[in-house]
Amino acid sequence: MRTYTVISADGHVETPPEAWVKYVPKQYRDRAPRLIKVEDGGEGWLVEGQPMLHNGANITPPTGTLGPKAAEGNARYRGESYYNPDGTPAPGAGPSIQRLREQDVDGIDCEVLFPPVYATAFVEKMDREAYLAMVQAYNTFLAQDYCSVAPDRLIGSAVIPVTGIDDAIAEMKRCQELGLKAVCFRQYPNGSEAPKPEDDRFWEKSLELGIALAPHIGFGGRSGTFNPSFRSFTESVAGRAGVRAYNIVQLLEARVFDRFPELRIYMAETNASWLPEALFFMDDGYRLYKNFYGINLTMLPSEYVKKHFRFSFIRDPLAMTLREHLPAEILMWGSDFPHSVGSFPNSRGWLDRIFEGVPAELQRRILVDNPVEFFHLDPTKALTETPGSAAARSPDHPRDS
């Protein structure tokens, strides 16, 4: 029986737009993002209100391989295409059944799937009605067409709109009803870069629904606007801890976790080797400035982090080298497939390198137990087999080790 042995807590759905644009209402469909061929061999996104956006490194060949044009000596070709030369979907750009087969190739059992950057974040300049239509169409596709094939192995993180608290709560509720287990937000629920009192409605509803909060890298403001004459509490405490600490301290200053002690937030793809330094400097900054600002927290910033946050790393072997100095027990791992810093199809090799000499119990916690707990998965249930695999054809077929 196949059960979880390796869960990637950070992958991305990168499909051509046709897969989800079909869910956009007709009156907005001609305004949806679309792909066009560009001269250097990849594609570009045409998104309303934006200059053409090249794929960049969001679709890359498997690690250690070269695309066909690169093999011919065309230095401009970087392999960034949603399609193979024969017109079939490139790795990471196909339907969900292809994705399950790619998990098998990579030696993993499950992925938490974050939104495609260009198809979701860059539609924010549209008017509200058209923008909401795009967000809802993508989330519907994610739930009904993509993750439904194997909801125990394809864990979708839905897009939360940035058009205000009412829209954010409504879409979170709709996504939970569609069966999605997590939501990804780029701004605070109120739609701005800073927390506001109305966000409490969103935090409370997320706990009521039992849906996981999983922003990718960060959300809201990423750094403060430095005022040489007067800095905010957040700027002072997070300043030496680095950009990743800014959102954390914003939430601490807003006392969000004091009001919602059960709230947990997973910040994907932050990596982890920065944490020991950041936690020290957050605590140190708090001790230095708390009296000046008249802010007395219930716990030290590092204690809030260990209780309320989860992080994931990708190609960061230093994280486990520093495991005695960071809260390794709150970490997860991700392959970032199919993005450029990912480990596909060599994730098992990377994991061997990262976890060399690491106790099996800690390895299991990072690769299985933490994502199982956070995303409410069942570690005892037999997993959906990949269609066409030997195991799918024979229930008694043992899984290869």
Separation of alpha carbons 32 and 110, rounded Å:
30
Please give the pLDDT value at position 40: 67
Torsion, CA 249, CA 326, CA 207, CA 96, rounded to 10? 110
Strands (E) in 131-276, as ranges, are: 154-160, 182-185, 212-213, 265-267
| pTM for the full predicted model | 0.90
Separation of alpha carbons 7 and 144, rounded Å:
22
Burial of 231 (0-12, 13-18, 19+ CB in 10 A): middle
Buried b (16+ CB within 10 A) or exposed e, 155-186: bbbbbbbbbebebbbebbeebbebebbbbbbb
Separation of alpha carbons 184 and 221, rounded Å:
15
Separation of alpha carbons 312 and 386, rounded Å:
26
DSSP designation for 329? G
Backbone angles phi, psi at 76, to 5 degrees: -80, -20
- Reading the chain (401 residues) residue by residue, the pLDDT tens digits are 999 999 999 999 998 899 999 999 999 999 999 988 887 667 888 999 888 887 766 777 665 443 343 333 333 334 478 888 888 998 999 999 999 999 999 999 999 999 987 667 789 889 999 999 999 999 999 999 999 999 999 999 999 999 999 999 999 999 999 999 999 999 999 999 999 999 999 999 999 999 999 999 888 876 544 444 456 888 888 877 677 888 999 999 999 999 999 999 999 999 999 999 999 999 999 999 999 999 999 999 999 999 999 999 998 889 999 999 989 999 999 999 998 888 999 999 999 999 999 999 999 999 999 999 999 999 999 999 999 876 665 554 333 33
Please give the pLDDT value at position 55: 74
Grouping H, G, I as helix, E, B as strand and the rest as coil, residue 190 is coil
CB 33 within 8 A of CB 53: no
Q: Is 92 left (phi over 0), alpha (psi -120 to 50) or beta?
A: left
Query: Which two structure tokens, joined as six digits, stand for 35?
Result: 């792909």
Q: List domains and CATH numbers for the chain.
A: 7-14+90-393 (3.20.20.140)
Separation of alpha carbons 16 and 189, rounded Å:
28
- In the chain, the largest separation of any two C-alpha atoms, in whole Å, equals 70
